[in-house]
Amino acid sequence: MKFLYGLILFILIWWIFSIIIDSQLILPTPISVGRVFIDLVQTKTLWSSLLSTVLKGIIALAFTIILGFFFGFLMGIFDMLYELFRPAFTIFQSVPVISWLVLVIFVWGIGFKGPIVITVLSLLPNTTFAIAQGVKNTDKKLIEMAYVYNVPKKRIVKDIYIGSVIPFLFTALEVISGNIWKVIIVSEYLAGNEGIGVQIAWARQYVNVPKVYALTIFAILLGISSERLIKFIIKRKEFYYAS
C-alpha cells in the first residue's frame, strides 16, 4: 500500500508541475501521457520493440554472467591473474557508455549486436570483481582440510568455491538487473535498429514528447519487473541453499 500511495503522490506532483509549466513540449500532463500509453499498448510495433529489447537484455545478461564467472573465478584463485587483469577491468569499468557506443558503431554499425556488446562491456567488470571477491573469501582452512582428506578437486570446486561464490553472484545479479535496461535502451537509442530505445529516438525525431514519456514508462516497468523477478529467484535459491 505504501508503494501505491507513493505512486499516487508522484502522479499528483507531476500533474501540478505540468499545469505550472504549461508546455506539452517540456512536461506533458499525466492524462495525455496515459492516453498515448494506452494507444501504444494496442500496437504491434510496441510489442515487437519490447521483445527485441528483452531479447538483447537476456543475451547480454547471459554473456555477462558467463564471462564474469570465468574471469572472476580465475582471478579469485590465482593472485597473479588478479593483478594482471585488474587494471584492464578497472579501465573498462570507468569507460563511459558513450565511448563504447562510438567504438561499436565504427566496428559493427547500427544493428542488433551493438547494444548487446555495449551492455556486456559496461556490466562485465562489476560481475567479474564480485565473483573474484567471492572466491577470495573462501575459507582457506576448509580448503586445506579438504586436501588433507583427499577430497576430489571437482568436489572442492563445486561444494567449496562455488558455494562461497553464490552469494556474491546473487549480489552482482541484483546490481545488473537495476542497470541492464538503462544501458540497453541508451545503446538502442544511438546504435540500434529496433527496440524501445529506437522508438524513443523516433518519438524525439517527431517531437512527440508524450510518446517519449509513455515509452519511458514502459522502460521503467520493464526494469522494475525484471528486478523483482530476479530478487524472487534469488530468495528461492537462497532458501534452497540454506535448507
Mean pLDDT highest for which of 97-111, 138-152, 183-197? 183-197
- Mean of pLDDT over the chain: 83
Cell of 208: 512527440
What are the φ/ψ torsions at residue 63 (nearest 5 degrees)?
A: -65, -40
- pLDDT of residue 159 exceeding 90: no
> Where residue 145 falls among pLDDT bands split at 50, 70, 90?
low
Q: Where are the domains of the chain?
A: 34-242
**Lowest-confidence segment of 105-109, 127-131, 188-192, 233-237 by average pLDDT:** 233-237
Alpha carbon distance 40, 47 (integer Å): 9
Q: Which CATH superfamily is domain 34-242 in?
A: MetI-like (1.10.3720.10)
pLDDT tens digits, 18-49? 888 888 888 888 899 999 999 999 988 889 99
Amino acid 59: pLDDT: 93
Amino acid 51: pLDDT: 92
What are the φ/ψ torsions at residue 138 (nearest 5 degrees)?
A: -60, 140
Alpha carbon distance 18, 33 (integer Å): 11
The burial class, CB within 10 Å (0-12 / 13-18 / 19+), for 103 is middle
pLDDT, average across residues 173-198? 86
Amino acid 158: pLDDT: 63
- pLDDT of residue 241 exceeding 60: no
> Where residue 190 falls among pLDDT bands split at 50, 70, 90?
confident
pLDDT, average across residues 214-230? 87
Amino acid 143: pLDDT: 64
Alpha carbon distance 22, 33 (integer Å): 14
Residue in the structure block whose three cell numbers are 545488473: 176
Dihedral over Cα of 14, 39, 226, 116: its sign: negative
Longest CA pairwise span in the chain (Å): 75
Cell of 94: 570507468
Question: What count of Cα atoms within 13 Å lies in the side-chain half-sphere of residue 190?
Answer: 16
pTM above 0.85, yes or no: no
What is the DSSP track for 138-207?
S-HHHHHHHHHTT--HHHIIIIIIHHHHHHHHHHHHHHHHHHHHHHHHHHHHHH-SSSHHHHHHHHHHTT
